[in-house]
Amino acid sequence: MLHGLRTPNKTQLRTDQPICQPFVPPAVGARSGELSVARGQIGVNYTQPPTVPHRSRRRGNEALTSPPRTPDPTTASLPSAVPNHRTASASLAPPARGEGCGEGSQTLVPLHLLFRRFVTCSKSLGKPAAGPLRYPILFAILPACLGLSLSAAEVDESKLPPPASVTIDFSRDIKPILENSCFRCHGPEKPRSNFRLDNRDAALRGGDNGVDILPGNSAKSPLIHYVAHLVPDMEMPPLGKGDPLTADQISLLRAWIDQGVAWETVEPVSPLEFSLSPTLRLISVSGDNQKFREHYWQKEGVNGGVEQFDWHRQLTPDSGLTASGHVLQNDYQLRLALEKNEIGFIRAGWEQYRKYYDNTGGYYPLFTPSTFNLDRDLFLDDGRAWVDFGLTLPNWPQMVFGYEYQYRKGDQSTLQWGDVVQAGIDRKIAPASEHLDEHVHIIKFDLEHEISGVRIEDSFRGEFYSLSTRRTNILFSPFVGSFQTDDNREGYRHFQGANSFRLEKQFNDWLFASGGYFYSQLNADASFTVNTFNVSGPLLPVQRWSSQQVTLERESHILNLNMLLGPWDGLTLSSGVQSEWTREKGFGNDNLDDIIFPGNFFFASPVMMFTDLDKAQVEENVALRYTKIPFTALFAEVKLQQESLGQFEEQVGGFSEFLRDTDFDRQSYDMRVGFNTSPWTWVSLSAHYRRYDNESRYNNTRDEAPIGFPGFGYSAFIRSRSLLTDEVETKAVFRPLRWLKTTLSYQLVSTDYHTATDPVPGGITSGSQILAGTYDSHIYTLSTTLTPWQRLYLSTTFSYQDSATITANNGATAIVPYRGDIYTALASGTYVLSQASDLILAYSFSYGDFSQGNFVDGLPLGLRYQQHGLQVGITRRIAKNFTTQLQYGYFYYNEPSSGGANNYSAHAIFGTFTYRFP
Amino acid sequence: MRIVKKCRWWVGLAVLSVAGALCALVSSCSTTSRTVMAPPQIEGATFVGDKVCADCHAPISHVFPASPHARLHLDHSQMAGQQGCESCHGPGSKHVAAGGGRGKFIVNPGKDPEACFACHQEIQAQFHLPQHHPVIEGKMNCVQCHDPHGADIMKPAGGLAMARLNQTCAQCHREQSRPFIFEHEALREGCTVCHNPHGSINPKLLVQRDSNLCLKCHAQMQGPGTGGVGHLFIGQVDHTDLLRFGSCWSAGCHTAVHGSNVHPRMFY
């Protein structure tokens, strides 16, 4: 499918979750007889039980979600008031899930489970599972756990609702309860206390704290005690994690356990699932087919392939093998994953796509022929292959070791155009290209772990990079009076090691802090050759610049600290500071030899080049958000930067010797204030104002050009630069009807550029400051989403931008303002034609006009174009597993500013067939 | 005749529209239980609230209040679907019921930009300009460049909380972000000084296609020695005639715009 032609997913009607009546155990603080209306439940004698606060491993998060609670005096002061009727032999109740052995643990635990509990306790204290400290800590904890267990009260089973007197159907009666109330914490992903309730084996096995389900004996099953809230501090779901189960639900769970814990009675899911979507495409282009390729990232003609394939095999309940991807013309993707819960994964893949380029160069209306063509296809293949090995063992650091290979190879068009001379007029419009060969080998290591609430992240990248380029340009030599070929070759390779280390911790409800350190070291060597050949006569190099000895180094240290405070009465404050120190050095031992015409005088010109940059930068940011005003958020942010840089550059030898020593410093701020409000259900309003101010100063302590022709020496002539941006953005979202949403937005951006330069002798410039340029832009966007019927979805977006860039050209007629408009319109829709068929529509349009009239004195580079893309199609499910899709597309591009050389129109037909199993 | 020719396009469009409307009217008589849903909607799912998400995604929920996206996080907001995780990821009840998992009944804007475009329509429009990064083609995605949950949205996820200079672009464009003997100082202010990363009408995603791109920083006060109005010196060099050939970089002079190992003026 071509871009701009995406259609929304089509799905079935929603279903709402049933509202259940919660069960409140009388022993745990319920005051029966009270009438309350809460959570949408009406006429229920119900009051939220004042549960003992539930402690989670994610304490900060839990605390944020839990309202203040007053301990019930009947349970807080008299823990033994909760009777314990469990015997030592039958009581298998563990402490609360993931809770360790705190003061709330009040159940009897058999000895063989106590050891597990010690390990849990030690882990909850942040100690590793192994190590010299392990056993002393365990033995320190042991008496406490034993004491608490021995003093625990028994559960009063008489307060349990009776088992339901029905034959349990797992899918009908139990599965919805587990999905709504249990899977949130005890699903297959990161199960709390390693206790899972998504399959029978895991449920019966229990978790870190022992067995929770005793088949045939629901009254003794800890799971029932927990959901019935008979065990303080172990209520399930914990407060804030879901509504308590109703008495009916507990009765069903009891019956389910008493009847043997039957699991899924429906046909088990097939271990094998796959889908395959072969496609056939026919694209016919008339006009500039290379421009079409560049715009739509694909080639014309007949081609086919597999638009998407997905294959998944469930090897065990905990492990699976997955393959997915697509195979199209010059666009491939293959992803493989072998994953096992709580063990790890192996993920590998390869993907490559092709970026196409047009090769028509520039256009000049006075010339004939008006356009030029390299007469060959230009494209870059961009790809990567990778393999990652991940460890996801519970309570262990999550680690990923990986290797990745990235590459780009091919020929791309460049904007370094060559000469075309006609009637004595020379314009640089001849197309040019560059051959690029880029390879990157990356070694990766990532680690994540949490110790005592401190989250640790480390990421290392070792990168071997190599680059080879070759660019050829056509040059016209006024001295020789003929065209020449300029051949530029460059080689570069580096190794860069970079490591990022980060710590973060949620200290309490209102304080989160993080910090990190980044270090990188880059060592590179480079080479180049620049040869100019006289193509009209004998092959004679007229310029021979080369070096095989360029070395570069870069080293960075970055320290970062952040803090997030609040919310305090609706106020949230976040702040950060980052300091960077970077040192960069470069050295080149070059030959900049020239042969000067006429006479073929050869000038050998060995030179040495040096550079040394020493940069220090500090960045601070502060952001405030206030949400106390109803339905409204106010925000204010500011980012400050201070940078100082010592820059030394020198060239020794050659025609343009120079030495520069500059102290550079820069201060900037980027502030933004605004609001977002939604006072009524049908409207949302937001706006912000932003100001960005960037002030740069160059103190050129040494700026020397001792020899050479006037103007050949390097002139570090800029003294200061200032960039000031004002931005206003507003957005209004209206939803007057359930099926209609409209968004209006407006953005204004205005930037002034000021530059001050050194005075230049001869009256060239006095050296004062100048308003070098201005940029002004207005963007208006209107977007509408319509769903008037459940079978129709329609989305449209219209955007208009006018912008102007005007620079101080001192009346030079070659430079005119870059000013123009861009219109963009997008529309997409889906209509459900029948139970088996959908109609889809997508349309995109853009028009831009930045055309310029300076074709006599300059090169009019401003673009004017018009682009349409229309696609209609039908999707039909012809059988349970078979779907077909047929689409037609029409694409049109017109570019008068290039004399029509880039125009095209295209027709496309796509047919796709999808088979899904099962 | 000319009027008929001129109007042919509109007449055709009108006929198609009427025909389409009639087809829709006729087909609407048939019954179907199916509903069209666009991301971030999820079939059969209902909203569960941020607190449920935080149970498993604590690292994200911890740092999210510092994110620019948290500006839109209005507790008790009146407009539905405007607040919290599910405004981007879709209603989460089925994801929770499935016990979580990668891509299980949850919208991943990292794979499909439609969820981002629901709010950022102006960016969606930019991605439909002739030159753009291949996001709508599915070869890139928004989160490769933006961390939607972290304190600094102008960087990829992971690593330090605040962006480094040109960090986002450098992860792919190493050729341009590598060190040079002679750097172009414009890179100190970031790639976006010259490029619009989402989309542009100009090749190489340039914000301007002519010498105005450079002159907005490099223009200087002209003195009497420059020859008067109509003449343009930059530094010590008269560029008046040179600018007639084309732009500063396309006319064959300052071609090494990102830096050079050969010449301090970015030649070659």
Mean pLDDT across B14-18 = 74
Mean pLDDT across A431-458 = 95
Torsion of the alpha carbons at A722, B153, B141 and B79, rounded to the nearest 10: -120
Mean pLDDT across B231-235 = 89
The alpha helices in chain B, defined as continuous H runs, are 2-27, 50-56, 58-63, 86-89, 93-97, 114-117, 121-126, 167-170, 174-177, 212-218, 242-245
Going by pLDDT thresholds of 50, 70 and 90, the confidence category of residue A442 is very high
Lowest pLDDT segment from A2-16, A903-917, B116-130: A2-16
Using an 8 Å CB-CB cutoff, list chain B residues near A547: 261-262
Q: Is residue A163 within 8 Å of A220, Cβ to Cβ?
A: no
Mean pLDDT across A396-402 = 95
Closest CA to A581 of A552, A609, A619: A619
Q: A with B: how many residue pairs have Cβ under 8 Å apart? A: 510
Residue A865 is inside which H or E element, if any? strand A864-877
Closest CB to A681 among B79, B124, B185: B79
Q: Is the pLDDT of residue A858 over 50?
A: yes
Going by pLDDT thresholds of 50, 70 and 90, the confidence category of residue A658 is confident
* Cα distance between residue A598 and residue A619, in whole Å: 56
B29 in contact with A, Cβ within 8 Å: no
- In order of A803, A844, B75, B192, the CA distances from B204 in angstroms are 19, 21, 42, 12
Q: What pLDDT is stored for residue A96 in this prediction?
A: 35
Closest CA to B127 of A869, A108, A45, A609: A869
Closest CB to B70 among A553, A625, A769: A625
Q: What are phi and psi of A807, to 5 degrees?
A: -120, 160
* Cα distance between residue A353 and residue A332, in whole Å: 6
Closest CA to A413 of A363, A467, A359, A489: A359
Going by pLDDT thresholds of 50, 70 and 90, the confidence category of residue A56 is very low
Q: Is residue B216 within 8 Å of A775, Cβ to Cβ?
A: yes
A220: amino acid identity, one letter: K
Per-residue 3-state assignment (H helix, E strand, C coil) for A321-370? EEEEEEEECCEEEEEEEEEECCCEEEEEEEEEEEEEECCCCCCCCCCCCC
Q: Running DSSP on this structure, what letter comes out for residue A765?
A: B
- In order of A418, A600, B263, the CA distances from A487 in angstroms are 12, 19, 16
Q: What pLDDT is stored for residue A100 in this prediction?
A: 35
Torsion of the alpha carbons at A140, A145, A147 and A153, rounded to the nearest 10: 170
* Cα distance between residue B187 and residue A582, in whole Å: 15
Q: Is the pLDDT of residue A9 over 60?
A: no
Q: What are phi and psi of A315, to 5 degrees?
A: -80, -45
* Residue boundaries of the structural domains of chain B: 50-109, 182-260
Q: What pLDDT is stored for residue A26 in this prediction?
A: 34
Closest CB to A184 among B24, B55, B73: B55
Going by pLDDT thresholds of 50, 70 and 90, the confidence category of residue A310 is very high
Contact at CB, A763 and B226, closer than 8 angstroms: yes
Going by pLDDT thresholds of 50, 70 and 90, the confidence category of residue A486 is confident
Q: Is residue A525 within 8 Å of A499, Cβ to Cβ?
A: no
Mean pLDDT across B33-42 = 71
Instruction: For A536-588, write each residue's pLDDT tens digit.
Output: 655 555 678 888 889 999 999 999 999 999 888 889 999 999 999 999 999 99
pLDDT above 70 covers a percentage of chain B that reads: 84
Q: Is residue A891 within 8 Å of A868, Cβ to Cβ?
A: yes
Q: Which two tokens stand for residue B207?
A: 């914000």
Contact at CB, A765 and B233, closer than 8 angstroms: yes
* Cα distance between residue A122 and residue A104, in whole Å: 17
Going by pLDDT thresholds of 50, 70 and 90, the confidence category of residue A36 is very low
Closest CB to B74 among A512, A632, A680: A632
Q: What pLDDT is stored for residue A152 in this prediction?
A: 40
* Cα distance between residue A865 and residue A13, in whole Å: 43
Q: What pLDDT is stored for residue A478 in this prediction?
A: 66
Contact at CB, B162 and A818, closer than 8 angstroms: no
Q: Which residues partner with A516 through β-bridges?
A: A502, A560
- Helices and strands: H and E segment counts in chain A: 10, 30
The SS3 of residue A655 is coil
Q: What pLDDT is stored for residue A91 in this prediction?
A: 31
Q: What angle do CA A559, A564, A567 make, to 5 degrees?
A: 175
Length of chain B, in residues: 268
Closest CB to A12 among B33, B71, B264: B33
Residue A147 is inside which H or E element, if any? helix A134-150
Q: Which two tokens stand for residue B89?
A: 């990821």
pTM of the model: 0.81
Contact at CB, A500 and B264, closer than 8 angstroms: no
Mean pLDDT across B54-65 = 88
Neighbour-count burial of A268, counting CB atoms closer than 10 A to its CB (0-12 exposed, 13-18 middle, 19+ buried):
exposed
* Cα distance between residue B229 and residue B4, in whole Å: 52
Q: What pLDDT is stored for residue B6 in this prediction?
A: 54
Q: Is residue A641 within 8 Å of A632, Cβ to Cβ?
A: no
Q: Is the pLDDT of residue A618 over 80?
A: yes
What ipTM, to 2 d.p.?
0.91
Going by pLDDT thresholds of 50, 70 and 90, the confidence category of residue B50 is confident
Q: Which two tokens stand for residue A156?
A: 């009063």
Q: Is residue A140 within 8 Å of A121, Cβ to Cβ?
A: no
Lowest pLDDT segment from A188-197, A638-647, A737-746, B233-242: A188-197
Q: What pLDDT is stored for residue B102 in this prediction?
A: 79
Instruction: For A749-766, write each residue's pLDDT tens digit.
Output: 999 999 999 888 888 888
Q: Is residue A469 within 8 Å of A456, Cβ to Cβ?
A: no
B260 in contact with A, Cβ within 8 Å: no
Instruction: For B122-149, write each residue's pLDDT tens digit.
Output: 999 999 999 999 999 999 999 999 999 9
Q: What pLDDT is stored for residue A68 in this prediction?
A: 33
Mean pLDDT across A414-441 = 90
Using an 8 Å CB-CB cutoff, list chain A residues near B244: 427, 814, 857-859
Using an 8 Å CB-CB cutoff, list chain B residues near A857: 244
Contact at CB, B97 and A180, closer than 8 angstroms: yes
Mean pLDDT across A668-674 = 96
Instruction: For A73-84, write each residue's pLDDT tens digit.
Output: 333 333 333 333
Instruction: For A693-707, write each residue's pLDDT tens digit.
Output: 999 999 988 888 765
Mean pLDDT across A617-636 = 92
Going by pLDDT thresholds of 50, 70 and 90, the confidence category of residue A219 is confident
Q: Is the pLDDT of residue B235 over 60?
A: yes
Instruction: For B195-229, write each residue's pLDDT tens digit.
Output: 999 999 999 999 999 999 999 999 998 888 888 88
B205 in contact with A, Cβ within 8 Å: no
Q: CB atoms < 10 A from the CB of B227, how many?
A: 16
Q: Is the pLDDT of residue A125 over 70?
A: no
* Cα distance between residue A287 and residue B58, in whole Å: 55
Interface test with B, best of A840, A861, A904 (most B CBs within 10 A): A861
The alpha helices in A814-864, defined as continuous H runs, are none
* Cα distance between residue A781 and residue A663, in whole Å: 44
Q: What pLDDT is stored for residue A370 in this prediction?
A: 73
Mean pLDDT across A236-265 = 82
* Cα distance between residue A193 and residue A210, in whole Å: 10
Q: What pLDDT is stored for residue A139 in this prediction?
A: 40
Q: Running DSSP on this structure, what letter comes out for residue A270?
A: P
B9 in contact with A, Cβ within 8 Å: no
Interface test with A, best of B27, B72, B79 (most A CBs within 10 A): B79
B26 in contact with A, Cβ within 8 Å: no
pLDDT above 70 covers a percentage of chain A that reads: 79
Q: Is the pLDDT of residue A16 over 60?
A: no
Q: Is residue B247 within 8 Å of A861, Cβ to Cβ?
A: yes
Q: What pLDDT is stored for residue A693 in this prediction?
A: 97
Interface test with A, best of B27, B131, B201 (most A CBs within 10 A): B201
Q: Is the pLDDT of residue A153 over 60?
A: no
Q: What pLDDT is stored for residue A535 in this prediction?
A: 63
Handedness of CA A140, A142, A145, A147 (dihedral sign): negative
Q: What pLDDT is stored for residue B182 in this prediction?
A: 93
Going by pLDDT thresholds of 50, 70 and 90, the confidence category of residue A149 is very low
> Taking all residues of chain B, what is their mean pLDDT, rounded to a whole number?
85
- The residue among A4 and A155 whose pLDDT is bigger is A155
Contact at CB, B35 and A419, closer than 8 angstroms: no
Q: What pLDDT is stored for residue A148 in this prediction?
A: 39
Lowest pLDDT segment from A51-65, A225-239, A301-315, B11-25: A51-65
* Residue boundaries of the structural domains of chain A: 36-258
B35: amino acid identity, one letter: T
Q: Which two tokens stand for residue A318?
A: 């905990």
Going by pLDDT thresholds of 50, 70 and 90, the confidence category of residue A268 is low
Which positions ≥6 away from A704 have C-beta within 8 Å?
A658, A659, A660, A713
Q: Which residues partner with A448 through β-bridges?
A: A398, A457
Q: Which residues partner with A399 through β-bridges?
A: A391, A447
Q: What pLDDT is stored for residue A600 in this prediction?
A: 65
The SS3 of residue A598 is coil
What is the separation, in whole angstroms, between the first and last Cα of chain B?
57
